[in-house]
């Protein structure tokens, strides 16, 4: 059943046969974005991020679920259970109350949105530039009976000019603003659409203080992560906080949620060794990913997957290896979580 859904999703996303060419084009985005590259002044990172999710969304949902984010893990939980706990922690931090209107910045296919709406009793508006993800989110929300409590805007979170200022009682961005070409500019747009006093919770992919720019391996891992995840750069914790403050926010708290007291499991373990039930875990493991590359080639021959789909899986496999390398060296975390507030008396920015 899941494979049939994946097959349909891939055919809808890639009606032609140029998938391998699109992967090669995406793979070269760092070279096109380099300051010395010809035409670099016209480079638009928003297009690269859109390409990334158009190429990878179907496989990402198949392997990771409808909530496309990392979460702090514990030995007794599956990845799916940890993501639910993590989303509930976010809901608590945002102090959401029934009837509020919140903005989901970079909503993906709406996994967190559906939990927020169901459990907090709020209305939610999802922001996304990717039509494929938006269509999937709308369909899943309708199937969950939540379409009357959710809405969407197709726009970049770096330019939400179609949305009036002071529109939302709260907001959150889960592994989305890490894609921004101008992080402070993105936070400034979020600041603008929130009401005075509103809370904003975010989860960023960051470099830790263990990153040494003089270390060649560290630089290689950083570049592999940037290339594979479409990150224009990877900020430090301090850089995220300064971008928030520069946009006008008051930073209430911020820390790496992977660093905790008591029993815990490294955030990258689901991509390195089994974590959770065997059926769902296999497709995330190194050997499972390699087997899926081979299986995708067969599915192409049988015309179940568009030609070139195996190259997308290969791209995701390389990115998973970069995630694990970043986690094991301790130089990278996808779990820098912060809580900030738009001041009650705000002059804007």
Instruction: Give the CA angle between residues 148, 118, 252 to the nearest 5°.
Output: 110
Using pLDDT thresholds of 50, 70 and 90, give the confidence band for residue 285.
confident
Q: Is 138 left (phi over 0), alpha (psi -120 to 50) or beta?
A: alpha
Backbone angles phi, psi at 42, to 5 degrees: -95, 0
Residues 246 and 198: beta-carbon distance below 8 Å: no
**Mean pLDDT along residues 27-53:** 88
Cα 198 to Cα 334: distance, rounded to the nearest angstrom: 24
Cα 173 to Cα 345: distance, rounded to the nearest angstrom: 23
Q: Which helix or strand (DSSP H or E) is residue 186 part of?
A: helix 183-193
Task: State residue 8's pLDDT score.
Answer: 80
Nearest to 348 by CA among 200, 191, 183, 198: 191
Least confident range of 109-113, 249-253, 341-345: 341-345
**Mean pLDDT along residues 211-215:** 97
- pLDDT over 50 at 277, yes or no: no
Least confident range of 74-83, 187-196, 259-268, 287-296: 259-268
Percentage of the chain with pLDDT > 70? Answer: 94
| C-alpha Rg value of the chain to the nearest Å | 20
Task: State residue 299's pLDDT score.
Answer: 86
Q: 276-291 burial, b if ≥16 CB within 10 A, otherwise e?
A: beeebbbbbbeebbee
Cα 299 to Cα 185: distance, rounded to the nearest angstrom: 43
Residue 250's DSSP bridge partners are 341
Task: State residue 36's pLDDT score.
Answer: 83
Nearest to 202 by CA among 227, 223, 226, 179: 179
**Mean pLDDT along residues 245-255:** 98
Using pLDDT thresholds of 50, 70 and 90, give the confidence band for residue 280.
low
Residues 271 and 284: beta-carbon distance below 8 Å: yes
Task: State residue 290's pLDDT score.
Answer: 87
- pLDDT over 90 at 259, yes or no: no
pTM: 0.93
Using pLDDT thresholds of 50, 70 and 90, give the confidence band for residue 40.
low
Cα 1 to Cα 33: distance, rounded to the nearest angstrom: 40
Q: Which domains does the chain have, with CATH numbers?
A: 2-39+55-69+266-329 (no CATH), 79-262+333-341 (3.40.50.150)
Using pLDDT thresholds of 50, 70 and 90, give the confidence band for residue 15.
confident
Q: Which two tokens mark 320?
A: 């998973």
Using pLDDT thresholds of 50, 70 and 90, give the confidence band for residue 278.
very low
Q: 22-61 burial, b if ≥16 CB within 10 A, otherwise e?
A: bbeebeebeeebeeeeeeeeebebbebbbbbbbbbbbbbb
DSSP designation for 258: T
Using pLDDT thresholds of 50, 70 and 90, give the confidence band for residue 282.
low
Average pLDDT of the residues of the chain: 91
Nearest to 147 by CA among 116, 121, 114: 114
**Mean pLDDT along residues 151-175:** 96
DSSP designation for 42: G
Tens digits of residue pLDDT in 96-143: 999 999 999 999 999 999 999 999 999 999 999 999 999 999 999 999
Place of tokens 């990913």: 289
Three-class secondary structure assignment of 199-248: EEEEEEEEECCCCCCCCHHHHHHHHHHHHHHCCCCCEEHHHHHHHHHHHC
Cα 256 to Cα 233: distance, rounded to the nearest angstrom: 18
DSSP code per residue over 259-312? --SSS-B-TTGGGTS--S-HHHHHTTSHHHHHHHHHHHHHHHHTTSS-TTHHHH
- pLDDT over 80 at 346, yes or no: no
């Amino acid at each position: 059943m899941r494979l049939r859904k994946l097959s349909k999703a891939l055919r809808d996303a890639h009606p032609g046969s140029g998938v391998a060419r699109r992967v090669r084009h995406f793979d070269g985005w760092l070279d096109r974005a380099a300051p010395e590259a010809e035409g670099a002044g016209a480079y638009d990172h928003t297009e690269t991020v859109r390409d990334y999710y158009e190429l990878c969304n179907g496989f990402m949902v198949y392997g990771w679920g409808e909530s496309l984010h990392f979460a702090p893990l514990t030995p007794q939980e599956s990845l799916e259970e940890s993501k639910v706990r993590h989303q509930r922690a976010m809901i608590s931090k945002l102090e959401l109350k029934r009837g509020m209107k919140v903005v989901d910045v970079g909503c993906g296919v709406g996994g967190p949105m559906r939990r927020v709406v169901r459990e907090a009793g709020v209305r939610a508006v999802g922001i996304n530039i990717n039509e494929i993800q938006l269509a999937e989110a709308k369909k899943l929300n309708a199937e969950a009976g939540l379409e009357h409590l959710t809405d969407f805007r197709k726009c970049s979170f770096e330019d939400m000019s179609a949305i009036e200022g002071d529109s939302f009682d709260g907001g959150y961005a889960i592994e989305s603003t890490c894609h921004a070409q101008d992080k402070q500019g993105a936070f400034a747009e979020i600041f603008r659409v929130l009401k005075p006093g509103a809370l904003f919770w975010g989860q960023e992919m960051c470099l830790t203080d263990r990153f040494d720019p003089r270390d060649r391996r560290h630089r290689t891992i950083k570049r592999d992560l940037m290339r594979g995840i479409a990150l224009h750069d990877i900020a430090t914790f301090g850089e995220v906080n300064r971008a928030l403050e520069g946009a006008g926010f008051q930073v209430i708290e911020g820390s790496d949620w992977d660093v905790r007291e008591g029993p815990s499991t490294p955030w990258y373990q689901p991509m390195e060794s089994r974590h959770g039930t065997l059926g769902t875990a296999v497709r995330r493991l190194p050997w499972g990913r390699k087997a899926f590359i081979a299986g995708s080639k067969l599915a192409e021959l049988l015309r179940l997957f568009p030609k070139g789909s195996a190259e997308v899986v290969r791209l995701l496999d390389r990115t998973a290896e970069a995630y694990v390398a970043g986690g094991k060296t301790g130089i990278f975390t996808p779990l820098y979580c912060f809580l900030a507030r738009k001041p009650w008396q705000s002059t804007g920015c």
